[in-house]
Amino acid sequence: MIKVSGVRKRFDGVTALDGLDINIEKGSIYGLVGTNGAGKTTIIKQIMGIQRPDEGEITIDGQPVYENTEVKAKLGYVSDELYFFPGNGMRETAKFLAGLYPGWDMDRFEKMVADFGLDPKKKITSFSKGMQKQAALIFALSAMPDCLILDEPIDGLDPVVRLKAWKYIIDDVAERQTTVLVSSHNLREMEGYCDHIGIISKGRMVIERDLEDLKSDVHKVQIAFKGGFVEADTYADLNVLHKETRGSVTLLIVRESREKIEEVLRAKDPAILDILPLSLEEIFIYELGGESDEISSII
């Protein structure tokens, strides 16, 4: 559905995107995560056709998006940098957008405004930041897009509103096969809703996987041996991302299947062996080489 191939982008001599590849399947909820400055907002603006890549290609359903009004009419977008026409209320803005989006659903718009409890007559610029984010999401979903692009869409909203927003998004994925690309720093929330994850760093893709596959291939291992003796090659056959010792117990972060970890380490006759799954937040930190004090704080 959304394909980003070898995209590069520079600003004033600084490389923001460095040969980035992204593949997003139709009907999926794809979580794009990365550190600040990794290039998340830049690639979202490229996908939306707001900016043009210096190199590479971006297509949606096989069609280039830049300066393609037909493709853009099928995209819903909630930016991290909100803008609304000064003096306009919800209904005035909705009437304007209805002329731009052929799939616009005014009944849905009215239902969502009532559901979120926003005043349709009040100027949007007088809303709080959280209310403005709700307004932007209502506009994006009322356009009935094939693709929904969300850049930090519901950060700062209260838990009840967040659940309500995600319900609308998930219903659209289930009922209309809407494709969703969401960028957020809330990794626990992303873990709960996304089925695919892309981790980017310095404008490059580090890992792009089905979330369940990703979690099944990275494990936290706690191991100890009788007498505390560990041979030098004990972990040589494993892809160890991180290793630290706490007393007689060694903590490992290993990118391997559970079966291989069991096979390799059981053969060493450990006194203690626990193999535990990692959260998306832990995977993110280890894959990007977080400092040990950061890592220890979330384990």
* φ and ψ of 34, to 5 deg: 175, 165
53-102 pLDDT per residue, tens? 999 999 999 999 999 999 999 999 999 889 999 999 999 999 999 999 99
Residues 204 and 242 in one domain: no
Q: Are residues 49 and 113 in the same domain?
A: yes
d(CA 150, CA 79): 6
CATH number of the domain that 151 lies in? 3.40.50.300
The gap from C-alpha 130 to its chain's centroid, in whole angstroms, comes to 20
Residue 147 has pLDDT above 60, yes or no: yes
Residues 228 and 201 in one domain: no
The residue behind tokens 């907002």 is: 41
Give the domain extent around 275: 217-298
Structural domain tally of the chain? 2
Same structural domain for residues 125 and 246?
no
Same domain as 206, residue 88 = yes
pLDDT bin (cut points 50, 70, 90) of residue 9 is very high
Here the CATH number for the domain that contains residue 284 is: 3.30.70
What band does 201 get if pLDDT is binned at 50, 70 and 90? very high
Q: Pick the last residue of a domain from 194, 211, 228.
A: 211
Band of pLDDT at residue 293, cut at 50, 70 and 90: very low
What is residue 246's predicted lDDT score, i.e. its pLDDT?
85
Residues 44 and 118 in one domain: yes
Indicate if 132 and 200 belong to the same structural domain: yes
Output the pTM of the full model.
0.88
The SS3 assignment for 216 reads helix
Which of 211, 244, 267 is the endpoint of a domain?
211
My answer on whether 69 and 148 are in the same domain is yes
